[in-house]
Structure 1
Amino acid sequence: MYITLSDRPAASPAAPVAGRRRVAPVVVTLGLVSLVTDISSESVAAILPLYLTAVVGLSAISYGLVDALYQGVSALVRIGGGWAADRGGHPKWVAFVGYGLSAVARFFLLFSTGLAAISTVIAADRVGKGLRTAPRDAMISAATPPESLGHAFGVHRALDTAGAAIGPLIAFAVLWWIPDGYLTVMVVSFGFAVLGVALLGLLVPDRPVVERRQDRAPVRWREVAQPGLVRLLVVAGALGLVTVGDGFLYLALLDLGGFAAHWFPLLYVGTNVVYLTLAVPVGRLADRRGKAKVLIAGHGALLAAYAVVALSLDATASTLLVLLLLGTFYAATDGVIAALAGRLVPDELRASGIASAQTVVALARMASSAAFGALWFVLGPQQALVVVGGVLLLALPAAFATARGLDLDAAELP
């Protein structure tokens, strides 16, 4: 009934084996698209927490609401993006719409000065991200044999994270040479966003994940809700509720007094360099040892990051250690959860399965950001992290017990 991508490796003796660590060309191309797009988004994201709190003058509660918007708006459309990709069978063009919307949002950011206008533009940008993420990941999954998914997603995330490291470097350089040069950062951001849309439209082939049939039934939740995927959603959602946004941790480190405010964008660079370094080896580890185990272990690294900040150790040492731990957390979770979710549903529902997992994580982190902002306001940064870290410590054993066996479920799914 369904025809898979023509560039998906065939199960024959001549096909590349996982040990050769080769990935399909489309994976690299999509990685380049993500690289330039992340330069665009992260150059702005790197200045946003400091800009909103130090320049605009928002309180911790207000910043928490903005960060919740940044984290969660994409969740409102991710399932829609996955459904559209599965229904139409052409995920490239669904992703293209998402990348294009984000580019348009970057343009209007140039003229947004008030909090309400900035929030609206951020929301539009996140809607674009929500539309593009699942179709893009579905193309990666469809072009890769199951035994190499962790590696393929690691390669993509490494390229993606290279852009996430370059973006804050550009923001830092601009603000170093041009005091209050926020508009210049936004102009550069817009230029890279347009480049990402062009690369996707011109270089990524329009190869359908499955052949569309006129009598094909709409995607239904009961078909997507395989038992293994539901267990993954429960685990991912619970852990997402105790995942504090990077901006809060960076502001807490700034509060410790280990560096001057103009160095703030480089914190994002440090985290992303670690992520970039570890994405491929951790992806390979997930392929060998189990994606669910690596996912839970990644949240253990996040717990350690909370502890470092809460203990108020030497400011410089704390900063370096937190960046290392956060990079490890993202390497063990971001691509790994997409690789696992894509194998817990039938092939023709891959985008919807990935979108479901990403939606749950985004919504949970949205709620976490809003709640943590209030907790910070009441208790202060260190005490708030103690509370959240304590809950995460209790949640990890339960999450491990629930996620146990998910890799076997993925292997057994026809």
Structure 2
Amino acid sequence: MNIERANPIRRFWQRYRGLPPTVFALSLVSFLNDTSSEIIYPLLPAFLFLALGATPFAIGLIEGIAESLASILKLFSGYLSDKFAKRKLPVFLGYSLAAIMRPLLAFVTSWQQVLVVRMTDRVGKGIRGAPRDALLAAEVPEDRRGMAFGFNRAADHLGAVVGPIVAFMLLTYLASDPENPTLAEYQSVFLYASIPVAVGLFVIVFFVHEPKKPAEESAVSPKLSLDGFDGSFKRYLLILALFTLSNSTDAFLLLRAEQAGVAPAMLPLLWMVLHFSKVFSSLVGGELSDSVGRKAMIISGWVVYSAVYLGFAFVNAEWQAWMLFVLYGCYFGLTEGAEKALVADMVDAEKRGTAYGLYNLAFGVTVLPASLMFGGLWQLFGAEAAFIVSAGISIAAAVLLLSLRIERKQKN
């Protein structure tokens, strides 16, 4: 018994081995896809700026359009997966688009072509996101949903740890001068990056199984509207949108860390530490939400977020920036799995695709305004004011969520 207690790997396996095979399969696909994506993402700004001559405005335009498009499409893909009672097909199609488009980065010669590739890649994300979450929710009972979503998010974040390491190794091996890669050397790395997501397609085909829809639900015709959801779910979405108004791009955190003394060469390592924190906290946070409660975990995470942003307002030493990034990772672990599990708790099974689409839309509509507001406050009043205002908004959202009465649906 003492040996078992001293063996964290065995304890971990005993807790998670009861999850359905589809949960493990979808988590493996998330890991492979994010590994592929994070091989490309850290290199893309330098590739665009140095190799293709793109301006900072063009780089921001590419990512802004791509992410906004993904958020909007998640709503429609979720609705359609409810309407036709098919989850696995849009998940496969979404990841297929990523597998097709990412290798094309190896042949681009202008930033406009990168824009088309990234937009189409993000279309794939928009197609697969909500149906995947609905499929995952259908595989587990309510008392294990937090664990399942936490495990899935941990696998995703682990890919964000592995991807940059693989990118570094590929660039070191393929580039004659890794500190100054050529256009062709960047493109060779992008070509290799398509392999993990292609492997993920085989996992979906052979290991992801979609439960059959009960016959009594076949007559249900979901609508692309909020009218079919109760008031508590609508208020939950509004509170999420308010919180997201405080959640600007993480580029501001990296900039603040550099101002606090973190050397530019250390920023990728700092980013990797953040994702390590996300991995471990996602496993803990998702599981705790099953026992402590979803709302309590989300509120705790938002309070941690507020504390982190207050810390960044007054950070003045390198070690403080490292500590704040670790705590920032804990915010994700406390909230991501719990938020998604709570969506499944609050809506009927046949409307979960639409519900997850609305959930993602609630985040998407305020992402751009959040970054614009934060950047404007920083420019006009200084970094301290921007971080303090964001911290205040997140606390206001936490207070509103505390007063929200959650109406759970018993149907799986």
With normalisation by structure 1, the TM-score equals 0.84
Q: How does 1:71-86 map to 2 (within 5 A)?
A: 71-86=67-82
Q: Distance in 1 between matches of 2:109 and 2:301?
A: 38
Q: 1:373 to 1:221 in 2, by over 3 A?
A: same
Q: 1:186 to 1:321 in 2, by over 3 A?
A: same
* Deviating more after overlay: 210-219 vs 115-124: 210-219
Q: Distance in 1 between matches of 2:20 and 2:256?
A: 41
The reply to whether residue 221 of structure 1 matches residue 225 of structure 2 is: yes
**Residue 232 of structure 1 aligns with which residue?**
236
Residue 373 of structure 1 deviates from its aligned partner by 4.1
Q: 1:319 to 1:117 in 2, by over 3 A?
A: farther
Aligned AA for 2:317?
D
Q: Distance in 1 between matches of 2:322 and 2:199?
A: 33
Residue 91 of structure 1 deviates from its aligned partner by 0.3
The reply to whether residue 192 of structure 1 matches residue 188 of structure 2 is: no
**Residue 3 of structure 1 aligns with which residue?**
none
**Residue 365 of structure 2 aligns with which residue?**
363
Match of 1:41 among 24, 31, 37: 37
**Residue 286 of structure 1 aligns with which residue?**
289
**Matched residue count:** 390
Aligned AA for 2:362?
V
The reply to whether residue 302 of structure 1 matches residue 305 of structure 2 is: yes
Long gaps (5+) in structure 2: 1-13
The reply to whether residue 120 of structure 1 matches residue 116 of structure 2 is: yes
* Deviating more after overlay: 230-239 vs 322-331: 322-331
**Residue 264 of structure 1 aligns with which residue?**
267
Quick check: 1:304–1:325 contact (8 Å CA) kept in 2? Answer: no
Quick check: 2:295–2:401 contact (8 Å CA) kept in 1? Answer: no
Aligned AA for 1:126?
R
Aligned AA for 1:39?
T
Quick check: 1:81–1:135 contact (8 Å CA) kept in 2? Answer: yes
Q: 1:307 to 1:278 in 2, by over 3 A?
A: same
Residue 22 of structure 1 deviates from its aligned partner by 2.0
Q: How does 1:2-401 map to 2 (within 5 A)?
A: 22-48=18-44, 58-59=55-56, 65-175=61-171, 178-179=178-179, 180=181, 182-210=186-214, 215-222=219-226, 224-261=228-265, 263-315=266-318, 317-378=319-380, 381-401=383-403
Residue 413 of structure 1 deviates from its aligned partner by 7.0
1:310 is paired with a residue of what secondary structure?
A: helix
**Residue 10 of structure 1 aligns with which residue?**
none
* Deviating more after overlay: 26-35 vs 293-302: 293-302
Quick check: 1:67–1:245 contact (8 Å CA) kept in 2? Answer: no
Q: 1:85 to 1:119 in 2, by over 3 A?
A: same
Q: Distance in 1 between matches of 2:60 and 2:374?
A: 7
Q: Distance in 2 between matches of 1:304 and 1:396?
A: 12
Q: Distance in 2 between matches of 1:377 and 1:198?
A: 48
1:244 is paired with a residue of what secondary structure?
A: coil
1:264 is paired with a residue of what secondary structure?
A: helix
Q: Distance in 2 between matches of 1:329 and 1:68?
A: 24
Q: Distance in 2 between matches of 1:273 and 1:351?
A: 30
Long gaps (5+) in structure 1: 1-17
* Deviating more after overlay: 116-125 vs 226-235: 116-125
Q: 1:208 to 1:121 in 2, by over 3 A?
A: farther
Aligned AA for 1:41?
S
Quick check: 1:74–1:126 contact (8 Å CA) kept in 2? Answer: yes
Q: Distance in 1 between matches of 2:94 and 2:135?
A: 15
Q: Distance in 1 between matches of 2:66 and 2:324?
A: 22
Give the alignment's Cα RMSD to 1 decimal: 2.9
**Residue 4 of structure 2 aligns with which residue?**
none
Q: 1:74 to 1:393 in 2, by over 3 A?
A: same
Q: Distance in 2 between matches of 1:214 and 1:137?
A: 21
Quick check: 1:43–1:189 contact (8 Å CA) kept in 2? Answer: yes
1:28 is paired with a residue of what secondary structure?
A: helix
Aligned AA for 1:244?
S
Quick check: 2:300–2:334 contact (8 Å CA) kept in 1? Answer: yes
Q: Distance in 1 between matches of 2:261 and 2:347?
A: 48
Aligned-residue sequence identity (percent) comes to: 26
Residue 302 of structure 1 deviates from its aligned partner by 2.0
Aligned AA for 2:102?
R
Aligned AA for 2:207?
L
Quick check: 1:68–1:368 contact (8 Å CA) kept in 2? Answer: no
Residue 300 of structure 1 deviates from its aligned partner by 2.0
1:74 is paired with a residue of what secondary structure?
A: helix
Aligned AA for 1:365?
V
Q: 1:20 to 1:29 in 2, by over 3 A?
A: closer
Residue 36 of structure 1 deviates from its aligned partner by 0.3
Residue 86 of structure 1 deviates from its aligned partner by 1.0
Residue 224 of structure 1 deviates from its aligned partner by 3.7
Residue 239 of structure 1 deviates from its aligned partner by 0.5
1:22 is paired with a residue of what secondary structure?
A: coil
**Residue 410 of structure 1 aligns with which residue?**
408
Q: Distance in 1 between matches of 2:168 and 2:36?
A: 14
Residue 256 of structure 1 deviates from its aligned partner by 3.4
Q: Distance in 2 between matches of 1:300 and 1:63?
A: 32
Q: Distance in 2 between matches of 1:396 and 1:345?
A: 22
Aligned AA for 2:35?
I
Q: Distance in 1 between matches of 2:81 and 2:171?
A: 40
